[in-house]
């Protein structure tokens, strides 16, 4: 597995594992129905065995308990766990309570990276960041992140912190959706903020619709590669501070995704891929 710097000497696998599945999963799990739960836990566990140490979850996903089961028996410092507070808990007191409950569901004494899942609706960003700093002081979390924030909101969140810094932003990013290249990625690079990329396969489109000509072009130089591996490597090759987090739902797919690291697309290959998918970008 290939690792890259997060911050403070922490090295994360260049590819992580996401545990958002789909709205039906969330709805059914609220009713106590966990479709394919055993397979999903096995997939996360398989990823850990391949060397992936970065796992992403959220209270909304109802997968924190699955992550707990997947990491059972593994030393706490061998996995880096991120979770998120849902918008109904984005207040000073709410985010503190939500983080503590998430840590309990995860079966851990602390959460490595804790995000505001979306910009707060009912309270100010400043209130949420004050709560985040208290969580830091109490050791409930180690790093603060924001998810689905605009650049203006990211800057406001950073300016609201008295002692800490925003360590990560989580946004949709892939060959099929490159909107954050305009502002958020440059800002993140300038300010040593990691970019965690969800939907890195464009909701599966990139793993199915990529022209076979592109696959053959890459495979000729780098050995046989799949469409998913190429799409994930495009992110890793372009940005040293980016971490794609494809969904971990099937052990075989997780092993395939792990093959996206340890090699780099060349500049002309990147150009060809971006040209091919340019029409998909807003």
pLDDT tens-digit map of 201-219: 988 788 778 889 999 999 9
The answer to whether the pTM exceeds 0.95 is: no
Q: Is the pLDDT of residue 125 over 80?
A: yes
| 43-47: average pLDDT | 96
Pull the structure tokens for residue 114.
Answer: 């804790």
Note the pLDDT of residue 236. Answer: 96
Q: Please give the Cα distance from 44 to 64 (Å, whole number).
A: 12
Query: Checking phi first, is residue 140 left (phi over 0); if not, alpha (psi -120 to 50) or beta?
Result: alpha
Note the pLDDT of residue 209. Answer: 81
**Which CA distances in Å does 179 have to 127, 187, 246?**
28, 13, 18
Note the pLDDT of residue 32. Answer: 86
Give me the chain's average pLDDT, please: 94
Note the pLDDT of residue 281. Answer: 67
**Which CA distances in Å does 198 have to 92, 110, 152?**
26, 23, 20
| 160-175: average pLDDT | 96
Domains of the chain: 3-204+239-262 (3.20.20.100)
Q: Please give the Cα distance from 198 to 173 (Å, whole number).
A: 6
Q: Is the pLDDT of residue 280 over 60?
A: no
| 3-class DSSP state of 95 | helix
Residues 6+ apart with CB under 8 A from 154: 146, 166, 169, 184, 187
Query: Checking phi first, is residue 192 left (phi over 0); if not, alpha (psi -120 to 50) or beta?
Result: left
Q: Please give the Cα distance from 125 to 245 (Å, whole number).
A: 26
pLDDT (tens digit per residue) in 224-253: 999 999 999 999 999 999 999 999 999 999
Please report, rounded to a whole number, the percentage of residues in the chain having pLDDT higher than 70: 99
Q: Please give the Cα distance from 28 to 237 (Å, whole number).
A: 38
Q: Is the pLDDT of residue 145 over 70?
A: yes
In 21-124, which ranges are continuous DSSP H helix? 23-30, 37-50, 64-70, 92-106
């Amino acid at each position: 597995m290939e690792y890259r710097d997060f911050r403070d000497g922490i090295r994360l696998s260049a590819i992580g594992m996401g545990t958002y599945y789909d709205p039906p999963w969330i709805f059914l799990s609220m009713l106590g129905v966990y479709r394919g739960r055993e397979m999903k836990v096995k997939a996360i566990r398989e990823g850990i065995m391949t060397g992936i140490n970065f796992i992403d979850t959220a209270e909304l996903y109802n997968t924190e308990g699955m992550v707990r089961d997947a990491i059972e028996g593994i030393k706490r410092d061998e996995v880096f766990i991120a979770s998120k507070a849902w918008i109904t808990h984005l207040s000073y007191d709410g985010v503190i309570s939500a983080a503590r409950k998430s840590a309990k569901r995860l079966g851990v004494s602390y959460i490595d990276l804790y995000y505001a899942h979306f910009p707060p609706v009912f309270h100010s960003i400043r209130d949420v960041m004050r709560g985040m700093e208290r969580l830091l002081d109490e050791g409930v979390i180690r790093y603060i992140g924001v998810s689905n924030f605009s650049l203006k909101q990211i800057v406001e969140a950073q300016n609201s912190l008295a002692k800490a810094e925003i360590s990560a932003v989580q946004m949709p990013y892939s060959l099929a959706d490159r909107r954050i290249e305009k502002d958020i990625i440059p800002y993140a690079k300038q300010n040593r903020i990691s970019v965690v990329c969800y939907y890195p396969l464009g909701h599966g489109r990139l793993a199915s619709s990529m022209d076979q000509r592109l696959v053959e072009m890459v495979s000729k130089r780098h050995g046989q590669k799949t469409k998913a591996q190429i799409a994930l490597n495009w992110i890793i090759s372009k940005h040293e501070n980016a971490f794609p987090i494809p969904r971990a739902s099937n052990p075989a797919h997780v092993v395939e995704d792990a093959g996206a690291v340890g090699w780099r697309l060349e500049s002309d290959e990147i150009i060809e891929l971006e040209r091919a998918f340019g029409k998909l970008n807003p």
